[in-house]
Every structure is written in structure tokens, then in C-alpha cells.
């Protein structure tokens, strides 16, 4: 039966009420949205019928990265709402990152009704399953109805989406909602259904493997090495530090914020030394999640032909290396249950002694270094960042400087990055999302190109609540390309380095954001130790990327041997 305009409007408003109420009971606390007409039922529903924090953001791309950052820090699903047409395509970069890095997002897109599809109607594209395999689940709903069947279907879809986003392999989930006009009713709507009993809490994740199986695989290992990915936390390995096993960890793992003797951070230097690389060959390697960035480490692991055990709780393939490996799916919380066999005497000592010798040389080099070498900022951040602060690290050279030069220090700092697909997309937006409403100060370490690529996110400054200090390394282009053979070619500056002619001070002035240019390390340390109390501050640090490349090469060639 054809609905009257008032029936359509009433169904849309009722939809909004059930949509908002269900999400609120499930536990959604925050939704970012971008303005649009077709999404009116969702936006009005959340605003009128829930206590969910509904935050307007001008463009969908920034909104998506803000949500990504929030979810990274809070580790719970954050919602996104957009109108129909090209709007949701601007979510794509953030969706791909969330998918590959296991970040839960709830994507709620409005759409035109079936009769306006494939007929040239404005602001209409094929939105069904538009994100393909990048989402964990997709739901296509019908236009809102006032009957109980539709209501139950809506609640079921939302519950399934929420639980799937937090499943064994967490990530984004997409629900597409078509709406007919009129989009809003002037009449009142009352919820007459007890949703509390209808909604159930998600069950605990069940893993197919066990620590006992892994214990059997490594039972004869005498030279075991652990490589911990970015999602491994300090508490996960607490019981394993005393097992005389060297631990290499990703640049973003919280394990770096410890003083554990078994932790090896100078592996880039060590493994570039052929003598050490050969003598330090393990018989077994336990790899926890995705590998660290280092190509040197990856190539060395591949060349050792050691037995590789890959532990990945999400049950996905994360080993890009050639040769055989054994995949095991358990929770990182179960790592303490693995029985580590007695290791060969001197195995850990060999790694530790070499580590200490290189670190001593590196520390001296940094203390003697007076020029504005961009890698020194990563070194200083590791020493001076406030306890419990958040640090987001951009891709390309900043993440590598953190990997190469970060120093051990026991603290409760949290490190973040977009290492799912390793792009520079959304660097600023994600950092702002992490910092927004955080109780602790936040920092962003980024290059000039990554910052400019996402400068639109600066528009969120007026709504931002928190403290975010941004260090922009301005080396006039893409510094990472200086480390590639293409840097010697005549086309390099135009086609790869791509330097941008911009005045960051004027850009900050336009947005009303505090700015300073710093060339003194003592002043930079003060900015780290005493960050802005409220708001966003941008600190530009000019460097020379060609000189930086030379200094990096010298630092990474430091050897543990006294004759080198």
C-alpha cells in the first residue's frame, strides 16, 4: 500500500528514534556527521532521542579520520553519518585504514529510495556494498516503515553491526539507509518497545589455537627471538621478560615505554652489520602481529630461514615474507601461558651487549649534534614526552625516525600511527581525533607534505577540546624519497620530492591556530615538556632533507664493535 506524505514523514521520525535509542543502548558515545539533507532522519534522531555526542564536521573525509582517531584511542566503535551521493566516497581512505588496522567504525550512509536509483536523479550513486571487502559487514535496509517487522530488522542490523565491528577481526561496518521525502514529521514519536531486553552483550571471542600448541612448536628452541608488532602491549609480555629471550618491538608498541633489559631497540644498526646478523641467527622466531616497518629486519628474518610462528589474534595473514611460516590464532592476553624453553647461555647477553654499545655511541652522537637534524626530534620525544601523553606519528620518515632513534624509558605514554595501509591520508585529522576530549596532552610528529595533505582538518579547531602540540618537520618535500635510488635522477625534485611553496605561519593565522618557528633544541624540549594546556599549537622546525639523509646514514652505520 502506498504511503501518504505524512505516513512517510512519521516513519522517518520513528526510524530516527529507534536508530538513536538502539545505538545508545549498545554503547555508542560519539558520532561525527557532515551536513546533508537526505541524512536528516538519522541526524535528528540522534540529536532528539539520545545522549550520543553528535559532532558536525564540514567534510566527510575529515569526519572519517576524526572518528578513526577517536576509535584508536578509546578502542570502541565510533559512528559516522553522511548524506547520499559522493559524500560517503570521501570516507574511503579512512575506511581502508580502519579495515587494515582493525579499528571499529560504524558507517551510516543515507541514500535515495529505489525509485530514484538508475534514473539520473541528483546526488544518487550506487551505494550498496560500495566499500566491498574493506568492511566486515554490510547491511542494506528498506525505506522506513512503521510496522514492528521493520523496527525489529533495524534493531537487529544495528546490533549485528556493533558486535561485528568489535569481533575477532574488528573493523568498519556499513549500513545503507534509503529515505523517501518528506524527511521530517512535525508530529511526535513515542518509543513503545523495550529495547533493553532485545539487545544482548557480545560474547567473548573464541580462538582456534592454544598456547599449549605453540609451546610444543618451540619446545626444542635454544635461540628464540620475539618480534612484537604495534598492537602488543606491555602487560602482554610481562611474564616473558625473565625468559632470557631478546624482544624486538614495533615503533608504536607500548613495550617501547619500558626499561626491560631484554628489549632490543637498535636492531636496525645491529642487523646492518653482517657479522652480527650471522651470529645472531635464531632457531625460532615468534612474530606477534604485523611486522615492524624496517626493511632491514624483514630481509634478515627472511634470510635466516628460521622457524617462524606468526601469532595474530584477528586470524588474518600478516606475514609478507617468503618461505614457510606457522599461523596461530590466540589472544595476546594468552602469551603468558606459552612455555618458553631454557635458552642457550649467552643468547640474550649477545644481543644486550651489542645493543648497549650502539646505544652509547648513538646517545653521544645526539648530544654532540647541533644542527636541526629531524631525527633528533624523535630522540627527544622519547626522553621528554609527559607521562600518559598520546603521540601520533605520521608515515614516511617520522615513523622510521621513531623506529631508529627512540630510547627506552618507563612511562605510560601511548603511541599511535596509521600503519594499516601506511599512507599520509588523514594524518592531521586522525591526530585531532585522538586528542579530542583526551584527559592527557597529545602530540603529532609529521612532515610538511603529510600535514598539508590534510590541512582541511584545521577547520575543526573551533570545536576541538583538549591539548594537541603539532611538530611539523619542514624539509621542503618528501624526505623519504631521498633514501631511494631515484634521488640521483634529474626528475627527482619535480616528480618525487615535490616541494611546496607555502607559509605555514599564514596558514595557521587563517585558522586562528597558535604557531611558532623553532630552531633551538632547548626551546623545542620546553615545548615537549610543557605543552599547550588547551587548544592546538603548531611548531614548525625547518630542516635540510639532503643533510638529514647523510646524518641518518652515519647514525645507522654505528657498530657495536670497538674498531668500527
The predicted model gives 347-374 an average pLDDT of 92
| Distance between CA atoms of residues 435 and 465, nearest Å | 8
| Distance between CA atoms of residues 113 and 111, nearest Å | 6
The predicted model gives 259-280 an average pLDDT of 96
Q: What pLDDT does residue 200 have? A: 65
Confidence band of 563 (pLDDT split at 50, 70, 90): low
Q: What pLDDT does residue 497 have? A: 61
Q: What pLDDT does residue 491 have? A: 73
Cell triple for 52? 550520543
Contact 52, 31 (CB under 8 A): yes
pTM: 0.95
| Residue 139 predicted with pLDDT over 90 | yes
Percent of the chain with pLDDT over 70: 95
Cell triple for 8? 512517510
| Residue 546 predicted with pLDDT over 90 | no
Predicted confidence (pLDDT) per residue in 379-393, tens digit: 999 999 999 999 999
Predicted confidence (pLDDT) per residue in 409-453, tens digit: 999 999 999 999 999 999 999 999 999 999 999 999 999 999 999
Strands in 53-56's sheet, in edge-to-edge order, are: 53-56, 30-33, 78-82, 105-111, 172-178, 137-140
| Residue 198 predicted with pLDDT over 70 | no
Confidence band of 240 (pLDDT split at 50, 70, 90): confident
Helix, coil or strand: residue 327: strand
The predicted model gives 239-264 an average pLDDT of 93
Q: What pLDDT does residue 476 have? A: 77
Q: Is residue 30 within a helix (H) or strand (E), and if so which, with residue range? A: strand 30-33
Contact 103, 71 (CB under 8 A): yes
Confidence band of 113 (pLDDT split at 50, 70, 90): very high
| Residue 287 predicted with pLDDT over 90 | yes
Helix, coil or strand: residue 133: helix
| Distance between CA atoms of residues 177 and 250, nearest Å | 40
Q: What pLDDT does residue 202 have? A: 64
Amino acid at each position: 500500500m502506498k504511503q501518504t506524505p505524512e505516513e512517510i514523514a512519521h516513519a522517518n521520525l520513528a526510524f530516527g528514534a529507534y536508530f538513536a535509542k538502539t545505538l545508545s543502548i549498545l554503547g555508542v558515545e560519539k558520532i561525527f556527521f557532515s551536513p546533508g539533507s537526505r541524512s536528516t532522519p538519522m541526524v535528528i534522531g540522534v540529536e532528539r532521542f539520545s545522549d550520543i555526542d553528535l559532532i558536525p564536521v564540514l567534510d566527510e573525509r575529515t569526519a572519517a579520520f576524526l572518528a578513526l582517531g577517536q576509535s584508536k584511542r578509546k578502542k570502541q566503535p565510533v559512528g559516522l553519518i553522511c548524506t547520499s551521493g559522493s559524500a560517503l566516497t570521501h570516507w574511503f581512505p579512512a575506511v581502508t585504514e580502519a579495515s587494515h588496522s582493525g579499528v571499529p567504525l560504524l558507517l551510516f550512509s543515507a541514500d535515495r529510495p529505489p525509485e530514484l536509483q538508475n534514473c539520473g536523479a541528483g546526488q544518487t550513486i550506487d551505494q550498496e556494498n560500495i566499500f566491498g571487502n574493506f568492511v566486515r559487514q554490510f547491511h542494506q535496509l528498506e525505506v522506513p516503515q512503521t510496522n514492528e517487522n521493520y523496527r525489529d530488522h533495524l534493531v537487529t542490523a544495528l546490533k549485528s553491526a556493533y558486535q561485528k565491528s568489535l569481533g575477532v577481526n574488528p573493523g568498519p561496518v556499513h549500513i545503507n539507509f534509503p529515505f523517501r521525502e518528506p524527511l521530517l514529521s512535525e508530529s511526535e514519536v513515542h518509543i513503545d518497545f523495550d529495547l533493553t531486553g532485545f539487545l544482548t552483550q557480545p560474547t567473548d571471542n573464541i580462538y582456534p589455537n592454544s598456547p599449549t600448541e605453540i609451546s610444543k612448536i618451540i619446545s626444542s628452541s635454544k635461540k628464540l627471538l620475539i618480534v612484537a608488532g604495534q598492537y602488543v602491549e606491555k602487560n602482554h609480555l610481562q611474564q616473558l621478560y625473565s625468559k632470557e629471550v631478546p624482544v624486538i618491538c614495533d615503533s608504536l608498541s607500548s613495550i617501547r615505554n619500558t626499561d626491560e633489559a631484554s628489549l632490543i631497540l637498535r636492531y636496525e644498526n645491529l642487523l646492518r652489520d653482517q657479522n652480527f646478523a650471522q651470529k645472531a641467527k635464531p632457531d625460532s622466531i615468534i612474530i606477534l602481529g604485523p611486522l615492524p616497518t624496517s626493511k632491514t629486519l624483514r630481509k634478515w628474518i627472511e634470510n635466516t630461514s628460521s622457524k617462524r610462528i606468526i601469532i595474530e589474534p584477528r586470524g588474518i595473514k600478516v606475514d609478507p615474507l617468503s618461505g614457510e611460516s606457522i599461523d596461530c590464532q590466540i589472544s595476546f592476553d594468552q602469551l603468558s601461558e606459552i612455555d618458553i624453553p631454557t635458552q642457550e647461555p649467552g643468547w640474550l647477553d649477545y644481543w644486550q651487549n651489542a645493543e648497549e654499545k650502539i646505544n652509547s655511541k648513538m646517545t653521544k652522537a645526539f648530544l654532540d649534534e647541533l644542527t636541526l637534524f629531524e631525527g633528533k626530534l624523535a630522540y627527544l620525544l622519547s626522553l621528554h614526552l609527559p607521562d600518559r601523553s598520546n603521540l601520533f606519528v605520521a608515515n614516511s620518515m617520522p615513523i622510521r625516525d621513531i623506529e631508529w632513534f627512540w630510547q627506552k624509558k618507563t612511562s605510560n605514554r601511548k603511541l599511535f600511527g596509521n600503519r594499516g595501509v601506511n599512507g599520509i591520508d588523514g594524518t592531521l585529522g586522525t591526530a585531532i581525533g585522538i586528542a579530542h576530549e583526551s584527559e592527557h596532552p597529545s602530540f603529532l610528529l609529521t612532515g610538511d607534505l603529510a600535514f598539508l595533505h590534510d590541512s582541511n582538518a584545521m577547520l575543526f579547531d573551533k570545536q576541538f577540546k583538549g591539548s594537541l602540540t603539532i611538530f611539523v618537520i619542514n624539509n621542503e618535500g618528501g624526505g623519504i624519497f631521498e633514501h631511494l635510488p631515484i634521488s640521483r635522477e634529474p626528475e627527482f625534485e619535480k616528480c618525487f620530492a615535490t616541494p611546496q611553496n607555502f607559509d605555514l605561519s599564514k596558514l595557521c593565522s587563517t585558522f586562528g591556530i597558535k604557531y611558532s618557528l623553532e630552531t633551538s633544541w632547548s626551546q623545542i624540549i620546553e615545548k615537549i615538556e610543557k605543552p599547550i594546556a588547551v587548544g592546538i599549537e603548531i611548531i614548525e622546525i625547518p630542516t635540510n632533507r639532503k643533510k638529514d639523509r647523510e646524518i641518518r646514514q652515519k647514525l645507522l652505520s654505528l657498530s657495536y664493535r670497538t674498531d668500527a
